[in-house]
């Protein structure tokens, strides 16, 4: 045994050994209990960040369950990450003085595909460096043909059952990125903006968006507001900037009599509240802002102006006409912004595909409440249910090229849509016309990734389909044992996977959910490029080894709580890896000692040690089984370092040195069992020592934790 454990001399070698010997390869084995986890697919296009290293929890579960004798599967994948990736790609184009508008759809798609495929191996090799026991032969990409096929089948099934519909609704639209978003992708920002009071026929009203006045189709007051009661239901005449027009006064509970003057203009095409109000009163939509973020032909001289420029000019002109009565400069309100580019989101009416969420979400709530899916740590259960309760219909259309194109064709004759599970229909389902045009849009990435649990397993057998759920591999490993991911994507992903998984397969997609926290810097701040505090996991790994990085993320953390990461922690865990090695080396070097009788003192010490270890093992297993992994690790750390090494070895080292085989064997037995318990956390050093003790071809993964 070498003097020290040098991670770089072992890691690659050991990982190849595990892979070549098929230790990570899952098979159908009817004699064994299956245990499966699907890795949340990292973005194929980006290197891993420290947050991804948190999937170490999954590796811990996989290796632990393997040591318990189960048939384990940890299935890797890569995400095309739709809009995220296109955004990065467009930034690169920009650097070359180009934009997405310079290419046709196919060319742009192919360019992004090549870009992603070139980068994908980086992310994959990094997962290997972390030591993750992934079954690489089964890896999947979210845009693999067979996965896409399953996504299409699910979409069609939803459509057939009336859970997907086409409708024109107000959507969150980023005019910079040229796509709509679901509610979850919007970030609300507090902003101070001028509130303009203007004359509006017989009224005075307040608005932050005077430029949308061309799209007003009503004026509203609260039904109980005495000041305006006599106007309700009447038409008023308003002097506008382009012309004088007539508009109806409606009464609606949603109007806040305390806001401004208690009168509001209703602009249903550009405001979510107004849109809802308009629906209640059957008021038409009048769109005056286009998808390019500019005012359109209905605005006369303002046509072509961008929203902010139009606002300025409209205010200027209103002032000229004496129509502005007051400006409140200190008004604060919350503004929806694009989560990616930060620009203000423009609510715009658009025809899109929507998932009718309530039936799916209500079913999901039942499953969680009944305990068919358990949530760990338990405190997240409430949050999950609250999210599910809040969900409403989900816009799944995106106006980007990098995604799975929606399998729906519109008839040029009768305008009706024909939805298929991928193949181009020969004729319109309604009027039989052959003039069909496919929807230009692609699916929201979360729509396809919500199907990941069953799609990845179904596609392991060739020719599997959603309509035929008998494939062997799927049947054996589905539902998966655990879904492990960061708590921050609970609503985006976990909630939707439950909805879609149950809808498509009539089974829960996973029996347990385990959520981990976010990795923060030493001061507890979020890591971000702008703060300059981002830690590259590969650098930590190069310096201290994979075991040290892994253990640093687990040691003394509260399950599900955020983790503060510092280099000191990695140093501490590197030292622990060395401790494991050195204890082993001490025992190893004293093997082959001469036979010598035990004495009373050592006998007593050994029996104490065995008792103490037995208790520890029981406790560790209990903690592992109840998802308290950090606690399990902390106790093992404490035991090996401070009890086994500092106390028992200290007490017994003379006996060992003088060749007392009984003592040596007693110590070795406990030590090797501790290695086994530590293996899921620190796979490299434990396997390295194991091989030193038992030979090059042996693996700790052949051992079983028995109790």
Query: Between residues 291 and 588, which has the closer beta carbon with respect to Zn ion?
Result: 291
Query: Between residues 1 and 344, which has the closer beta carbon with respect to Zn ion?
Result: 344
End-to-end Cα separation, the chain, in angstroms:
30
Give the up-direction half-sphere exposure of residue 567: CA atoms within 13 A in the CB hemisphere.
Answer: 10
Hey, what long-range contacts does 408-416 have (CB within 8 A, 24 or more apart)?
408/166, 408/353, 408/438, 408/439, 409/436, 409/437, 409/438, 409/439, 410/436, 410/437, 410/438, 410/439, 411/435, 411/436, 412/436, 412/437
Query: Between residues 262 and 336, which has the closer beta carbon with respect to Zn ion?
Result: 336
Residue 64 DSSP code: H
Q: How many residues bind Zn ion (CB under 5 A)?
A: 14
Question: Cβ(119)–Cβ(48) under 8 Å?
Answer: no
CB of 336 to Zn ion, least distance (A): 11
Q: Which of 433, 468, 536, 615 binds Zn ion (CB under 5 A)?
A: 433
**Segment interacting with Zn ion, rule: CB under 5 A, options 151-159, 415-423, 583-591, 623-631:** 415-423
Q: List C-alpha distances in Å: 209 to 58, 95, 333, 419, 468.
A: 49, 34, 12, 39, 54
Name residues contacting Zn ion, limited to 280-339 (CB under 5 A).
338
Distance from C-alpha of 341 to C-alpha of 326, rounded to nearest angstrom: 33
Query: Between residues 20 and 530, which has the closer beta carbon with respect to Zn ion?
Result: 530
Length of the chain in terms of residues written: 707
> Which residue from 75, 203, 195 is spatially nearest to 135, judged by alpha carbons?
75
Is 411 a binder of Zn ion (CB under 5 A)? yes
Query: Between residues 420 and 699, which has the closer beta carbon with respect to Zn ion?
Result: 420
Is 520 a binder of Zn ion (CB under 5 A)? no
Query: Between residues 437 and 589, which has the closer beta carbon with respect to Zn ion?
Result: 437
E strand map for 225-323: 235-239, 244-251, 264-266
CB of 291 to Zn ion, least distance (A): 13
CB of 192 to Zn ion, least distance (A): 22
Query: Between residues 282 and 530, which has the closer beta carbon with respect to Zn ion?
Result: 530
Is 431 a binder of Zn ion (CB under 5 A)? yes
Is 414 a binder of Zn ion (CB under 5 A)? yes
* Residue 247: strand, helix, or coil: strand
Distance from C-alpha of 364 to C-alpha of 342, rounded to nearest angstrom: 32
Query: Between residues 430 and 526, which has the closer beta carbon with respect to Zn ion?
Result: 430
> Which residue from 455, 466, 582, 470 is spatially nearest to 509, judged by alpha carbons?
455
Is 636 a binder of Zn ion (CB under 5 A)? no
SS3 content of the chain, % helix, strand, coil (to 5): 45, 20, 35
For the purposes of burial, counting CB atoms within 10 Å of the CB of 460, is it exposed (0-12), middle (13-18) or buried (19 or more)? buried
Q: Which of 430, 531, 601, 657 binds Zn ion (CB under 5 A)?
A: 430
Is 177 a binder of Zn ion (CB under 5 A)? yes
Is 400 a binder of Zn ion (CB under 5 A)? no
Name residues contacting Zn ion, limited to 156-175 (CB under 5 A).
174
Is 428 a binder of Zn ion (CB under 5 A)? yes
**Segment interacting with Zn ion, rule: CB under 5 A, options 82-90, 352-360, 406-414, 689-697:** 406-414
Q: Which of 4, 187, 254, 341 binds Zn ion (CB under 5 A)?
A: 341
Q: Which of 413, 543, 596, 698 binds Zn ion (CB under 5 A)?
A: 413
Strand partners, 235: 248
Contact set with Zn ion (CB under 5 A): 174, 176-177, 338, 340-341, 411, 413-414, 416, 428, 430-431, 433
């Amino acid at each position: 045994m070498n003097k020290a454990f040098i991670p770089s001399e072992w890691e690659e070698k050991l990982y190849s050994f595990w892979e070549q010997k098929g230790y990570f390869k899952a098979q159908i084995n009817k004699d064994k209990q299956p245990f499966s986890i699907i890795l949340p697919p990292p973005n194929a296009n980006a290197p891993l960040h420290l947050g991804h290293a948190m999937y170490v929890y999954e590796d811990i579960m996989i290796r632990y369950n393997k040591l318990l004798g189960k048939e384990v599967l940890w299935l890797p994948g890569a995400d095309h990450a739709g809009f995220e990736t296109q955004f990065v790609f467009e930034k690169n184009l920009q650097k070359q003085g180009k934009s997405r508008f310079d290419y046709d759809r196919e060319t742009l798609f192919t360019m992004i595909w090549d870009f992603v495929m070139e980068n994908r191996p980086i992310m994959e090799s990094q997962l290997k460096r972390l030591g993750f026991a992934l079954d690489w032969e089964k890896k999947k990409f979210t845009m693999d043909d067979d996965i896409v096929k399953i996504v299409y089948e699910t979409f069609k099934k939803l459509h057939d059952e009336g859970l997907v519909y086409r409708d024109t609704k107000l959507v969150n639209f980023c005019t910079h990125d040229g796509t709509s978003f679901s509610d979850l992708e919007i970030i609300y920002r507090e902003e101070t903006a001028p509130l303009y009071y203007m004359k509006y026929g017989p009224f005075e009203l307040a608005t932050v968006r005077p430029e949308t006045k061309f799209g007003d189709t009503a004026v509203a007051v609260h039904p109980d507001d005495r000041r305006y009661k006599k106007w309700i239901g009447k038409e008023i005449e308003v002097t506008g900037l382009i012309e004088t027009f007539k508009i109806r006064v409606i009464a609606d509970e949603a109007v806040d009599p305390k806001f401004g003057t208690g009168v509001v203009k209703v602009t249903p095409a550009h405001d979510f509240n107004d849109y809802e109000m308009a629906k209640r009163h059957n008021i038409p939509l009048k769109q005056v802002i286009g998808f390019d973020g500019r005012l359109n032909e209905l605005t006369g001289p303002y046509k072509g102006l961008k929203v902010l420029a139009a606002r300025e000019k409209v205010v200027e002109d209103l002032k000229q006409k004496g129509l502005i009565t007051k400006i409140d400069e200190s008004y604060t309100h919350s503004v929806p912004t694009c989560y990616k580019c930060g620009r203000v989101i423009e609510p715009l009416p658009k025809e899109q595909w929507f998932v009718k969420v309530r039936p799916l979400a209500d079913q999901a709530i039942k499953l969680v409440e009944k305990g068919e899916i358990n949530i760990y740590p338990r405190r997240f259960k409430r949050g999950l249910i609250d999210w599910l309760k809040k969900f409403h219909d989900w816009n799944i259309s995106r106006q980007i090229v990098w995604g799975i194109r929606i399998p729906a064709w519109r008839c040029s004759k009768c305008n009706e849509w024909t939805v298929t599970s991928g193949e181009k229909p020969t004729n319109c389902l309604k009027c039989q016309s052959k003039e069909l045009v496919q929807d230009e849009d692609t699916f929201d990435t979360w729509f396809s990734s919500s199907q990941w649990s069953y799609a990845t397993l179904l596609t392991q057998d060739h020719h599997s389909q959603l309509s035929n759920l008998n494939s062997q591999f799927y049947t054996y490993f589905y539902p998966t044992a655990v879904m492990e991911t960061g708590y921050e994507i609970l609503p985006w992903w976990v909630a939707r996977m439950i909805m879609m998984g149950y809808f498509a397969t009539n089974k829960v997609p996973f029996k347990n959910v385990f959520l981990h926290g976010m990795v923060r810097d030493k001061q507890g701040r979020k890591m971000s490029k702008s703060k300059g505090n981002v830690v590259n996991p590969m650098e930590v790994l190069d310096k201290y080894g994979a075991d040290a990085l892994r253990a640093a993320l687990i040691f003394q953390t509260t399950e599900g709580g955020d983790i503060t990461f510092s280099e000191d922690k990695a140093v501490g865990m590197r030292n622990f890896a060395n401790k494991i090695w050195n204890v082993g080396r001490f025992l190893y070097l004293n093997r082959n000692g001469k036979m010598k009788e035990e004495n009373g003192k050592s006998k007593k010490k050994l029996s104490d040690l065995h008792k103490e270890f037995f208790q520890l093992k029981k406790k560790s297993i209990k903690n592992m089984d109840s998802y308290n992994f950090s606690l399990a690790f902390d106790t093992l750390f404490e035991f090996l370092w401070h009890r086994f090494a500092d106390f028992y070895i200290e007490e017994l080292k003379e006996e060992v040195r003088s060749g007392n085989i009984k003592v040596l064997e007693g110590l070795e037995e406990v030590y090797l069992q501790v290695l086994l318990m530590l293996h899921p956390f620190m796979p490299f050093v434990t396997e390295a020592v194991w091989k030193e003790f038992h030979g090059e071809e042996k693996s700790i993964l052949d051992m079983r934790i028995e109790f």
